[in-house]
Chain A
Amino acid sequence: MLRHAELDRLSIAHIDCDAFYAAVEKRDDPSLRDKPVIVGGGRRGVVSTCCYVARLYGVRSAMPMFKALRACPQAVVIRPRMSIYAGVAREVREMMRSLTPLVEPVSLDEAYLDLSGTERLMHASPALTLARLAARIEREIGITVSVGLSFNKFLAKQASELDKPRGFAVIGRAGIREFLAPRPVATILGVGKAMQAKLADAGLQTIGDLQREAPEDLMRRFGAMGARLARLAVGDDDRPVDPEGETKSVSAETTFNEDLRRLDELEHELWPLCEKVSRRLKAAGLAGRTVTLKLKTDDFHIRTRAESLPHPTQLAEVIYRDARELLAREADGTAFRLIGVGLSHFDPPELADPPDLLDRRPGQVRAIETAIDKVRAKFGEASIGKGRGLELGPPVSSRPATSPAEPARPSAHTRNSPARDRR
């Protein structure tokens, strides 16, 4: 592994956790180790992840559950525990960030890393640093990863898939065309079923086929995508590893311990989510124009309602006011198990909450929220809040399921809540 002519000159990596959800489940329950494990099911009944044992039987992710069980009847099916996986993913990401600030997460179980210039700091080449990281993740977190190392993101990703699971593969500059030529066009990110069919119609099935076409022809036939294909076909990819990624929406949601029907109870859950979204918008320097409300009914139907604001906002109060309107229309006695709120269509923050001739509130609200944010930064989340957070006592979802009489985490605002006993 550590013998490659260009090894010291490659520093872009793609790291992919092997059968991530299933691996976490196996870690948490060692009795599953040698059994075929499928994580999935739930509402739509498809496989989200299956372990490598299950793959031997032909089970694949995104396969309908009944098919998967026909192929592998003895499989252990586990409902996804997303919050656990998110926690593990966070730990993995933290380890990556201890090597370089340039970590671009693609999903929970995948990320790109740019290790350029870390040699002196790590006293090792990027390849050695990555090998140590993979070993550390396995040792300390208990799951395995596959690493691809190359000189750009496209090839790093190709590399990580070469040697899965628990793999480490390197793609250098030499022989790139030959390496890519036999691969199917579908290995290029962004080439889905529809694009694949279009390319097949044009007689283009492998990357080699693309290499033989003139870039202008590809561009003429497939537009911007054609230009991209022409470049990627020869291993040319100049996208930087961007730790920010491009945020398209910021949202927060919570699942209740017990289903809720009443508007006032739902509102009470909504407010802290608006505060959370607002806090993240402010931190990221974003202002959103579209508010989206998400509700999940007790029979798992998802309702989303969206509305555009007259101006982009960062303020919890503005988000809440709008989302509350949307919520009031949906709170018709239906039992809900989840509520979420999100903001999208971003603008630069200087366009947020413009001053208004008639309505002084945006300025006042901004001043109030800034003051609250400062107090919280200094004394903690529970130190101060708006009166709205008090009315019904602490949100159901954050209440400990046991000990209804004595909240386990009394905080400043619950202690003084006059309405707490109503529940």
Chain B
Amino acid sequence: MKLSIERVALLTALAHVQSVVERRNTIPILSNVHLDAADGALALTATDLDIAIVEKVPAKASRAGATTVPAHTLYDIVRKLPDGAEIELAQKPGDTRLQLRAGRSEFTLACLPKEDFPVMAAGDLPAKFNISAADLRRLIDKTRFAISTEETRYYLNGIYLHAAQSAGVPVLRAVATDGHRLARVETPLPDGAAAMPGVIVPRKTVNELRKLIDGVDGDVEVALSDTKIRFAVDEASLTSKLIDGQFPDYERVIPPDNPRALAITASDLAQAVDRVSTISSERSRAVKLALDKDRLLVSATSPENGTAVEELTAAYNEGALEIGFNSRYLLDIMDQVEKGGEARFALKDSGSPTVVRDASDEGALFVIMPMRV
């Protein structure tokens, strides 16, 4: 194998694939990235056995061939090379080392045989549809904060992606919850997605996918079965296993008719909560919201730190109510509201789940469980 490639092209592709590679690996080959040079392109592949990312970048290949080298090492080298550098990669037939040259720098990297690199079999992916990268970003960005990390409820460790009906309109829905808050975001159902099975996309896949589609303008091709999913964008594709489990019946926990409505500028509430929660104890992070006619008092008390209170104006006229929330959870949800937008709360009482909507985004809904304060 022998090729030359622009630093920036190699760096972008490596950035995508190397982040799949775990820092610690018991199987040495999983630390490596698979390089395959042919037909004016270099294909890079990395996998952790659950996710595989392949990305093709243009390269001037003068001799075809393939090998594997340590992914993080290669990435670090390329990252440190000067901007605009032209990189040459070469491996003589039968050699177990890869030469990397750029300007006056020269590196020799130990290779592992390409035959040992695990290939992830995607199998048949019958359901296929296209979605714009922007829509997919929105589904991810507004839900992933609520993904659970609790291992005992492994079926919550991802985003539940499925076709649904919203007031009679078919939608593609992303739902994530950790039992304390829930995010449900939807977008009109893309053509061909009606037949898709409901699937739980694991957290790591979600995060890798998000990096892959950052700044992309066009469409993402999605293909899936009930055990695997593949996202293809431009010259890159990500294939992942899905979480084998049953996502809970989330509709059951969204209260349909909480009687008390509160409207407030999301960023105002977020800033007040952020300031006041400075006082909250590290473990509880609790803030109290005291509602009264057109007025909202945000407060926190901690036996060690002291007290804090801030008054906000808000549209509210449903009788006095005091309710406590984890400030972190409240801030996460306020972050999802469009810039300068209004958050619309629907509350019942201090012990019941509260619904939050974004006034400027009908397709996003959040639920937050209050805490005892």
Which A residues contact B (CB, under 8 angstroms)?
Answer: 310, 347-348, 350-351, 354-359
Contact = CB atoms under 8 A, between A and B. Distances in A.
Interface stretch (B163-171, B194-202, B260-268, B364-372): B364-372
A345 to B, nearest CB: 10
A358 B369 CA distance: 10
16 contacts: A310-B150, A350-B284, A351-B283, A354-B372, A355-B351, A355-B370, A357-B179, A357-B180, A357-B181, A357-B253, A357-B367, A357-B369, A358-B156, A358-B179, A358-B253, A359-B179
B182 interface: yes
A350 B369 contact: no
Interface string B173-191: 0000101111000000000
A351 B284 CA distance: 7
Nearest to B182: A357
A348 B303 CA distance: 11
A310 B154 CA distance: 13
Name the prevailing secondary structure of the A interface residues.
loop
Nearest to A354: B371
A326 to B, nearest CB: 12
A350 B372 CA distance: 7
Given A350-B372, A354-B371, A358-B253, 14 more contacts: A310-B152, A347-B284, A348-B284, A351-B284, A354-B372, A355-B369, A356-B369, A357-B182, A357-B367, A358-B156, A358-B177, A358-B179, A358-B248, A359-B179
B353 interface: yes
B367 A347 contact: no
Q: How large is the interface on B (under 10, 10 to 19, 20 to 34, 35 or more residues)?
A: 20 to 34
B179 A356 contact: yes
A351 B326 CA distance: 11
A355 B181 CA distance: 11
Interface in B246-267: 248, 250, 253
Contacts of B180: 354, 356-357
Contacts of A357: 177, 179-182, 253, 353, 367, 369
A287 to B, nearest CB: 10
A348 B286 CA distance: 13
B115 to A, nearest CB: 36
A358 B353 CA distance: 11
A357 B152 CA distance: 16
B314 to A, nearest CB: 25
Contacts of A310: 150, 152
A354 B371 CA distance: 7
- The 5 closest A-B CB pairs, nearest first, are A356-B179, A357-B253, A310-B150, A358-B248, A358-B179
Interface in B275-329: 283-284
Contacts of B248: 358
A358 B181 CA distance: 10
Question: Which of B353, B367, B372 has the most C-beta atoms of chain A within 10 angstroms of its own C-beta?
Answer: B372
A49 B324 CA distance: 54
A358 B175 CA distance: 13
